[in-house]
Amino acid sequence: MKILNLGGGGFIGAHLTQRLLAENQTVVCIDTHPDKIREHLDHHRLTYIERDIRREDFELDRLIQEADLVIDLIAYANPGIYVKMPLEVFRLNFTENLKIAETCSQYGKRLIQFSSCEVYGKTVAKSFPDKLMNSEDPALAIFSEDTSDSILGPVSKHRWIYASAKLLLERVLHAYGLEDRLDYTIIRPFNFIGPKIDYLPEDTDGMPRVFSHFMEALIKGTQIRLVDGGAHRRCYTYIDDAIECIYRIVENHGRVCSRQIFNIGSPDNEVSIRQMAAMMVDLYKTHFYKPGAPLPKTVDVTSEDFYGPGYEDSDRRIPDISKAKTLLGWKPEFQLKDMLIRTMEYYLSDYDGKIQN
């Protein structure tokens, strides 16, 4: 099968590209940076094209016509960017991605569209904290693909433009499906983590995701900053578990994935951001600490100080993965401690290599 992997050089895309090649698939990978797939660039079944899909010379029609399957991972997926550049986030995450979906429809190509668990928004407990008997009931935070409502923040909290763009794209794909004009599968990732998740803040605009902020603080002994006290909770999923589920969606045996939405997550790995910071510090001291090196201090910061005005976060997200279990026979295997150790080990090895070079 010839697979067009749009965004195939990013965190998820790089791991997926590696798996596709290992499964003897032919891959055309489009991305703006090859760093995370550099070890595969000479593979005889990989064609890498360094291109921004927004460029006028990007040959979207030809690439989709020549593909058997299109995987769309292209997105701004970073809360700092949602606040800083909301219009660019909407244009890339909706407008440009819609072109891909429309072209797939035009040429009758199957599309795997990556969305986000952000589309679920906030829990009822956060929206109506004084109206509930037990706001800590986990049932209030379990989100199912086909039945859960979306509760997004007000327009003034423009951080939600990412979730809105993703949700609108999902609805358009669903509408194409209703008219029998597109064979699609939508994936909603729940906080994937693993090697290559981000560059460290020193190598970027300073706004990668939680793990990389904490990792840099551990390496340099600087502050671990907990936004709004780190009370928000997430369920982290190891990238190897995620890729196994994604590849089963690629295979689509019996067409069970056609016009379906799948949560991919690890409901048993729920942790608050504060708890995750403490766990990472403990694991670092136990497995990686070098005597005499500085250790980070944990400080609380407001979301406005950290991200700027217009930020709001979802309080809690637990994935219902019963559909993936039933239709794909998949379940996650990695526990939080193991995935953190593996990911920390990768970053520390990479950082040490940079120092030595």
Whether 325 is covered by a domain: the verdict is yes
Whether 279 is covered by a domain: the verdict is yes
* Domain count of the fold of the chain: 1
Tell me the pLDDT band of 209, cut-offs 50, 70 and 90.
confident
Tell me the pLDDT band of 132, cut-offs 50, 70 and 90.
confident
DSSP classification of residue 92: I
3-state helix vs strand vs coil in the chain, percent to 5? 50, 15, 35
Give me the pLDDT at residue 201, please: 55
Please give the model's pTM, rounded to 2 decimal places.
Answer: 0.95
* 81: containing domain: 75-351
Which CATH number do you get for residue 189?
3.40.50.720
How far apart CA 121 and CA 332 sit, in angstroms, is 23
Give me the pLDDT at residue 11, please: 95
Options 48, 76, 162, 284, the catalytic residue: 162
Tell me the pLDDT band of 229, cut-offs 50, 70 and 90.
very high
Whether 45 is covered by a domain: the verdict is no
Displacement of CA 104 from its chain's centroid (Å): 23
| C-alpha closest to that of 264 among 286, 280, 241 | 241
Mean pLDDT (whole number) for 315-342: 98
Whether 104 is covered by a domain: the verdict is yes
Three-state DSSP at 53 gives coil
Whether 150 is covered by a domain: the verdict is yes
Active-site residue flag, 76: no
Mean pLDDT (whole number) for 157-162: 96
Tell me the pLDDT band of 78, cut-offs 50, 70 and 90.
confident
**Contact (Cβ atoms closer than 8 angstroms) between residue 224 and residue 299:** yes
Give me the pLDDT at residue 354, please: 56
Whether 311 is covered by a domain: the verdict is yes
| Residue bearing the bigger pLDDT, 162 or 207 | 162
**Contact (Cβ atoms closer than 8 angstroms) between residue 8 and residue 16:** yes
Whether 107 is covered by a domain: the verdict is yes
Give me the pLDDT at residue 133, please: 80
Whether 238 is covered by a domain: the verdict is yes
